[in-house]
């Protein structure tokens, strides 16, 4: 379900989202949410297009839900960043003029950043050879981007396999590697607002932070400056490697990052079983005052939700307000909502990001 791109209706849509969060959190006596808006156009830093062949040429295409054989051909994409819109026609001209680039090309992915970096992934139904690599190197130089070539079982990298983002939080600029194929927040402007809200909600602390689902360290970097120590967990190897690089590049040295799922960490803290990945880490040495969670759309599973109950403060960023409300219902007898916010990551859709700070009663 989504609304058409219509900047004239943006304010009305954002008001409706804020009202939806109010209604979902009303049973828990939540305070009035802070509302963080999005740019009304050119806000999305990544985009993915299938290619559709018509009149002997490949065109950018998207498909309505359930319409796999009826393509919507696209020349520009107003919700995507200006950088993506600038790259789209130049890339199209390049593949139209070069058989090595166009042969069996079926999908294109763009990743850009507020810092001006860009990466283009080209996906093929054929093996990639030396001729493709030569053409891709020329393309990367002409467009000033990194180029990733993907075919079955193979990935070729021209330049870097990550884009560099820089985000400012409370006057400090943090640098992030955003790996190809890994999750990153799509709306950089709103992401920066989310980081600022979380930083403020955390406050200056003298105890420790437990972070679940830390990804590439998006929230870890600024939140680590607010606490004594951080124990962060993430299950994706790609995200863990990016997070370790990001911690090093930003000289953040009070974070211990462990490749565990939230469920596994719950077992470790409950001493259900030991994990080799925790070897050398004494969980009892941490004085956790806050747990930070940014779970997938399904929210926290019941056991992880119960784990968070033992913490004085729960800072929760959610991409699904319904599962957020369900998790709060499980915690409501021990924790109250002190702050809440709406972050409009996805204008012109029903999706929204939200945040709450829960404090023990």
Domain borders along the chain are 7-40+186-360, 46-163
Strands 71-74 and 335-343: unpaired
Fold of the 46-163 domain: OB fold (Dihydrolipoamide Acetyltransferase, E2P) (2.40.50)
Catalytic residue among 123, 305, 319, 340: 319
What is the pLDDT, as a whole number, of residue 67? 79
Distance of CA 161 to the CA centre of its chain: 17
Longest dimension (CA), the chain: 67
At residue 128, the 3 state secondary structure works out as: coil
Same fold, 7-40+186-360 and 46-163: no
Partners of 166 in the β-ladder? 175
To the query of whether residue 340 is one of the catalytic residues in this protein, the response is: no
Q: Write the DSSP string, 174-229.
A: EEEEEETTS---SBHHHHHHHHHHHHHHH-S-SSEEEEES-TTTTTHHHHHTTSS-
> Euclidean distance between the first and final Cα of the chain, in Å?
38
Q: How far apart are CA 173 and CA 166, in angstroms?
A: 6
**CATH number for the domain whose boundaries are 7-40+186-360:** 3.40.50.150
Rg of the chain in Å (alpha carbons): 22
Each residue's pLDDT expressed in tens, for the chain with a length of 361 residues: 345 789 999 999 999 999 999 999 999 999 999 999 999 999 999 999 999 998 888 999 998 877 777 899 999 999 999 999 999 999 999 999 999 999 999 999 999 999 999 999 999 999 999 999 999 999 999 999 999 999 999 999 999 999 999 999 999 999 999 999 888 999 999 999 999 999 999 999 999 999 999 999 999 999 999 999 999 999 999 999 999 999 999 999 999 999 998 888 888 888 888 899 998 899 989 999 999 999 999 999 998 999 999 999 999 999 999 999 999 999 999 999 999 999 999 999 999 999 999 999 9
Catalytic residue among 165, 180, 234, 353: 353
What is the pLDDT, as a whole number, of residue 3? 55
Return the structure tokens found at 179.
């790996």
What is the pLDDT, as a whole number, of residue 1? 37
Q: Give, for 12, the enclosing helix (H) or strand (E).
A: helix 10-25
Return the structure tokens found at 118.
């860009």
pTM for this predicted structure:
0.94
To the query of whether residue 256 is one of the catalytic residues in this protein, the response is: no
């Amino acid at each position: 379900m989504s609304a058409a791109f219509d900047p004239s209706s943006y304010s009305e849509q954002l008001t409706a989202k804020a009202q939806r969060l109010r209604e979902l959190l009303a049973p828990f006596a939540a305070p009035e949410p802070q509302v963080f808006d999005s740019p009304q156009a050119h806000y999305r830093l990544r985009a993915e297009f299938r290619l559709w062949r018509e009149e002997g040429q490949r065109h950018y295409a998207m498909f309505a839900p359930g319409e796999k054989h009826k393509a919507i051909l696209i020349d520009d994409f107003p919700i995507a960043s200006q950088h993506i819109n600038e790259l789209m026609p130049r890339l199209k001209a390049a593949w139209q003029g070069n058989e090595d680039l166009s042969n069996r090309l079926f999908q294109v992915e763009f990743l850009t950043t507020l810092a001006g970096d860009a990466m283009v992934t080209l996906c093929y139904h054929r093996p990639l050879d030396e001729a493709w690599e030569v053409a891709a190197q020329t393309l990367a130089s002409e467009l000033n981007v990194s180029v990733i070539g993907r075919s079955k079982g193979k990935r070729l990298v021209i330049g870097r396999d990550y884009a560099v983002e820089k985000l400012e939080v409370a006057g400090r600029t943090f640098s992030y590697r955003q790996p190809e194929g890994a999750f990153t927040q799509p709306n950089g402007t709103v992401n920066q607002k989310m980081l600022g809200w979380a930083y403020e909600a955390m406050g200056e602390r003298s105890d420790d932070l437990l972070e679940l689902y830390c990804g590439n360290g998006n929230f870890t970097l600024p939140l680590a400056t607010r606490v004594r120590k951080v124990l962060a967990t993430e299950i994706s190897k790609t995200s863990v490697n990016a997070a370790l690089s990001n911690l090093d590049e930003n000289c953040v040295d009070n974070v211990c990052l462990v490749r565990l799922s939230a469920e596994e960490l719950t077992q470790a803290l409950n001493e259900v079983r030991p994990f080799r990945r925790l070897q050398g880490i004494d969980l009892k040495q941490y004085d956790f005052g806050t747990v930070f969670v940014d779970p997938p759309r399904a929210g926290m599973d019941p056991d992880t939700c119960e784990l968070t109950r033992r913490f004085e403060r729960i800072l929760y960023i959610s991409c699904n307000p319904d599962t957020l409300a369900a998790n709060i219902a499980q915690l409501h007898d021990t924790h109250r909502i002190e702050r809440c916010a709406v972050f409009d990551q996805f204008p012109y859709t029903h999706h929204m990001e939200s945040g709450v700070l829960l404090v023990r009663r």
